[in-house]
Amino acid sequence: MLAKKTHWLLVTNTLLCFLLICLCGCSTTRISPANVREVISRITQKDCQGQLKKLVELGPRFSGDADQTETTLSYLENRLKTMGYTTYRESAGQWLGVDQYNLMAEIRGSISPEIVIELGAHYDTVKNCVGADDNGTGVVGVLEAARVLKNAVPAKTVRFCFFAAEEIGIIGSRAHVDRIAENKQTSVEGLINLEMIGYSTNQPNSQNAPIRIPILASLPREGNFILVAGNFSSGDLGNRFESNIRRFVPDLDFYSANRIAGFFRDAARSDHSNYWDSDIKSIMLTDTANFRNPNYHQPSDTYDTINFDFMSKVIQATVATMLEWGEFNLEHTP
């Protein structure tokens, strides 16, 4: 009897151990390359075309126009609500008598919810422009990331930021960064800023540069790459993005201004510079704006000038980076 009892104890213990190993194994299996490929394959050129078309059909999104601003905010709120998000508006004061709001949506972290990683883009345009590239493409990038990441489980909190009033002096992101500093409950690790990610061409001499310094900063002459701009202390975030391009979207050309962009005034012309000023990591992904796109801040910045193959690849690489950075557990994705 004793021997038999010991035998059953052994069997039970072995089974329990096996179960524990399985459970531990599941909780530490956070992400696999196959999972990443599956998620980013859901971002297609067609998706990007559809999303951008709807956005530009709203018309200009000038922050000095109350109706345009409200129409844009309501549209984005509805898009995010349809995906299953709860959104909130964050006040960024007034400009020309118009209330300015950043729009936020989050996926709460399952292990470290107090640590926040951000993906953002400004939603406003200059006056009388629909801003397809500037910055409709960035807005669609954030929307697409929100769409494919919904229902996946990150360890950290992931925040999608739609910034107000960038064109009139990066006012929206300034208000947001001030809030980050005030909020002692959470810690923001950094921001990936999508600032014009849709203009790309293989035409020779289509790429200008504010300055060309051999070896250090010498942009190629063909404007068919995404520029990764980060200051010195954001170096690891830039590295993370670039390694995800190499791994998951290898046919997307990029030019690295990682770590060095903080030295160039032109590389600080968007929301990420407020993060740099507050010692929070941030990189900007951009097609380089007026150094490549002849439609920059013109009514000709329209839907038909966008290269959707390029744009969808930039978004794919961004989502792959967010999956790694947010420590998503894709085993639990429904």
* Nearest distance, CB of residue 81 and Zn ion, angstroms: 25
Q: Judged by CB, which is closer to Zn ion: 135, or 312?
A: 135
Please compute Rg for the chain using Cα positions.
22
* Nearest distance, CB of residue 236 and Zn ion, angstroms: 25
Q: Judged by CB, which is closer to Zn ion: 173, or 312?
A: 173
d(CA 73, CA 61): 10
Q: Judged by CB, which is closer to Zn ion: 125, or 157?
A: 125
Q: Which residues would be at the binding site for Zn ion (CB under 5 A)?
A: 134-135
Contact in structure between 146 and 87 (CB atoms under 8 Å)? no
d(CA 229, CA 282): 9
DSSP string covering 161-208:
EEES--TTTSHHHHHHHHHHHH--S-EEEEEEEE---------TT---
* Nearest distance, CB of residue 16 and Zn ion, angstroms: 58
d(CA 146, CA 152): 10
d(CA 19, CA 293): 58
* Nearest distance, CB of residue 334 and Zn ion, angstroms: 35
Q: Judged by CB, which is closer to Zn ion: 112, or 290?
A: 290
* Nearest distance, CB of residue 179 and Zn ion, angstroms: 21
d(CA 164, CA 144): 19
Q: Judged by CB, which is closer to Zn ion: 135, or 321?
A: 135
